[in-house]
Amino acid sequence: MNDKRHDRGDVDLDRYFALARQAPPDISGVERNFETRVMARIREGREPWYALAWRLAPIFLALTILLAGWSLSYPPVHPADPVTMLTSGTQEVALLDNLTGE
């Protein structure tokens, strides 16, 4: 009795599988332009780097202008140490000081 029930269950299940195989899933709606959407997502995944760079560009520009303005607003300082003078490119000042005895 139990075996018969099991046999019947297998037969029924195989019928369901056979029927389900006859009805392949409809993918037409998703398939349409699918590659376009995949490529868009791939590009989207890369975009933050470019987008971030573009978003940061005005900040870098403002920072550059500020630094340029700051450096121009202060006159160059002549160090008293002769070695520092030589390495910082102010030899002429050192030579002049030496000649004038200052």
Partner 1 sequence: MAVPDEDADLVRSAIGGDDDAFAELVRRHKGTVLRSAARFARNPAELEDLGQETFLRVYRDLRSFRGDAPFGHWLSRITVHVCYDALRKRRREEKDVSLEVLAAPVADPSTGNGPSAQLARMILDQAMSRLKPEDRLVITLFELEDRSVREVAELTGWSETRVKVRAFRARQALKRLIGGDDER
For residue 10, give every residue at least 6 positions away whose Cβ sits within 8 Å of its Cβ, in sequence order, or none.
Answer: none
The nearest distance, CB 3 to partner 1, in angstroms, is 13
Length of the chain: 102
Q: Which is nearer to partner 1, 15 or 78 (CB)?
A: 15
Q: Which residues bind partner 1 (CB under 8 A)?
A: 5-6, 9-10, 12-13, 15-27, 29-31, 34-39, 41-43, 45
Q: In whole angstroms, give the CA distance from residue 21 to residue 26.
A: 12
Tokens of 21: 């195989």
Smaller CB separation from partner 1, 22 or 73:
22
